[in-house]
Each structure stands twice: as structure tokens, then as C-alpha cells.
């Protein structure tokens, strides 16, 4: 079962959210302070304005804990979720109801929406690709093309959408890319210098690089920026000998052309750099 604890610690999340609250609040909410004369208890609801995959419940829960601590002496914010993490939500479905002092709900509104909308956007885009690829036995992977300082959160959202994670950082695995090969004098020379007990991924850009390449030294062979026609020629020769990954130039428009027999996985930078945030609203109730 997917758990946010496998992606980030409480300490990481508290630090991340605290910076976001500092950024948004500054020295205080001037508008609310001047307009709201009575800090009464109110309710507000999060509503999905389009269908998609919900991601970010643990993040928003922690956010309201932090905002409650910032407003000492007031009742804490309570939140009740009507949907589950990683679930598919329909347009106009209620996601959650929040109860607490009006100043706290207004102070956290934008930050909560930013996290919910963006993480749900990543999860929703990932699910679109996963649904198309899974019937062909192909797994969808993300990349390191993430928003700075949001990597753990975005990779968590990819998992919420049913995708898989590539390296979280440069120290978590070996991936021999084009510049490595140039500096080493070739892919075979680069492989000779590798001494690593974990997964070794080798990226190639043309068929000539396969000549004389010992596939037993490789866990994953990444065919980067190959056309679908070229892949249909090469992949059958590799299938069963090494795990085959394809990447580069793949997007929602041409994606179906890359669902080629023998491909094990497809990696997409667009999951975390070209997603659209899920449209979610927050409105007060019974006012």
C-alpha cells in the first residue's frame, strides 16, 4: 500500500510547509486582519472542479497542524476527507470539509490549494499514461526533471497516479548518459569503470552503440529519442535479454505510437515538468 512515509519524513514535510507558509503569509494577512472583526468558527470545503486523481492528503493534514500552531490560543483546525488518497475523483465531488477559526482557514487557503492542485495534477497526468501503457504490460517512470525542492513530493504524486520512480538523486543509482560516454571514450569504456551493486542504466542514442555491448553488465537499456519505426526494428532483438526502456520526444499526442511489444518501461519528464494543476476550489459554507 502506498505510504507518504516511504517518500518523505515528518521533518522534511514540516520544513517544506513552513517555508511555504512563510512565503505566503509574510508578516501577516493584512486584508483579513482589517476586514474580519470576529474570528468565529467556520467551515469550508474543497471541491474538485474537474475529474482527476487526488494526491496530497498527508501534506494538507500536516499544513493545518502547522497553521493551528501559528495561531496560539485558538481552537485547532479540523479536516474531514470525503475521498481517499490516490482515488479518482469526479468533477464537482467534495474532497474535504475544514472547520476552524476563519483567520486560520484564510491564512492556509492558498498554500493548501497549491499543494493539492499541483500534486493532484501530477498524479492525474501520470494515471492517463499508466492506463494506456498498462494494457501492454509497460510501466511508466518519472525522471529527475522536477520542480526544484519539490522532487520528493512530485515523485510521491507520480506513485499516487500509478507510476514508478527513477532515481531520486545522483547517489541513488548509476545512469550512463551521453556526456558520460563522451568523457569516457564510449559506452563500453564507461561501463568498465562502474563498480556499483545497484541498478545500472545505460542510455544509447543509435544502433551502433549496441555493437559489442555486453548486455549482462546492464540492468536497463534506455533507448533515447528513437523513432517508433526504429524501435520496432531494435526492441525485438533486445526483449528478454535486458530490460528495455524508451524515452525522449514522447508526449500525449504521439504516446500510443510508442506502445511497442517488448518495451518494459517508458520514462517521461513531462509528468513533473509539463503537468496541468487539477482545478480545485475552496469555499466557505453557510455564510
Active-site annotation, residues? 110, 145, 177, 203, 224
Q: What phi and psi values does residue 124 have, to the nearest 5 degrees?
A: -70, -40
Residues 182, 185, 187, 193, Cα dihedral to 10°: -110
d(CA 44, CA 94): 11
Burial class (CB in 10 A: 0-12, 13-18, 19+), 3: exposed
The H or E element that residue 93 is part of is none
For residue 136, what is the DSSP state?
A: T
Burial class (CB in 10 A: 0-12, 13-18, 19+), 253: exposed
d(CA 130, CA 161): 8
Burial string for 177-197 (b: 16+ CB within 10 Å, else e) reads eeebbeebeebbebbeeeeee
d(CA 63, CA 135): 37
Close Cβ partners of 222 (under 8 Å, ≥ 6 residues apart): 175, 201, 202, 203, 204, 245, 246, 247, 267
For residue 172, what is the DSSP state?
A: G
CB 40 within 8 A of CB 62: no
Amino acid at each position: 500500500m502506498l505510504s507518504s512515509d516511504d517518500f518523505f519524513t515528518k521533518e522534511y514535510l514540516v520544513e517544506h510547509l513552513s517555508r511555504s507558509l512563510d512565503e505566503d503569509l509574510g508578516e501577516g494577512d493584512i486584508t483579513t486582519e482589517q476586514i474580519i472583526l470576529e474570528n468565529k468558527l467556520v467551515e469550508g470545503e474543497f471541491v474538485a472542479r474537474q475529474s482527476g486523481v487526488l494526491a496530497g492528503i498527508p501534506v494538507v493534514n500536516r499544513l493545518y497542524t502547522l497553521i493551528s500552531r501559528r495561531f496560539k490560543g485558538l481552537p485547532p483546525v479540523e479536516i474531514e476527507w470525503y475521498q481517499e488518497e490516490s482515488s479518482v475523483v469526479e468533477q464537482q465531488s467534495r474532497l474535504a470539509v475544514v472547520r476552524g477559526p476563519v483567520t486560520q482557514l484564510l491564512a492556509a487557503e492558498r498554500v493548501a490549494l497549491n499543494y493539492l492542485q499541483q500534486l493532484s495534477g501530477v498524479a492525474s497526468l501520470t494515471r492517463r499514461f499508466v492506463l494506456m501503457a498498462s494494457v501492454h504490460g509497460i510501466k511508466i517512470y518519472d525522471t529527475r526533471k522536477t520542480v526544484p525542492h519539490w522532487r520528493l513530493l512530485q515523485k510521491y504524486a507520480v506513485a499516487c497516479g500509478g507510476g514508478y520512480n527513477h532515481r531520486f538523486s545522483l547517489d541513488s543509482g548509476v545512469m550512463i548518459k551521453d556526456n558520460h560516454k563522451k568523457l569516457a571514450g564510449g559506452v563500453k569504456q564507461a561501463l568498465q569503470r562502474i563498480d556499483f551493486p545497484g541498478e545500472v542504466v545505460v542510455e544509447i542514442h543509435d544502433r551502433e552503440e549496441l555493437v559489442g555491448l555486453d548486455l549482462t553488465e546492464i540492468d536497463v537499456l534506455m533507448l533515447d529519442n528513437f523513432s517508433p519505426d526504429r524501435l520496432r526494428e531494435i526492441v525485438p532483438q533486445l526483449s528478454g535479454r535486458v530490460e528495455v526502456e524508451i524515452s525522449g520526444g514522447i508526449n500525449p499526442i504521439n504516446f500510443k505510437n510508442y506502445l511497442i511489444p517488448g518495451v518494459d518501461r517508458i520514462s517521461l519528464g513531462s509528468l513533473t515538468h509539463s503537468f496541468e494543476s487539477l482545478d480545485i476550489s475552496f469555499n466557505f459554507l453557510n455564510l
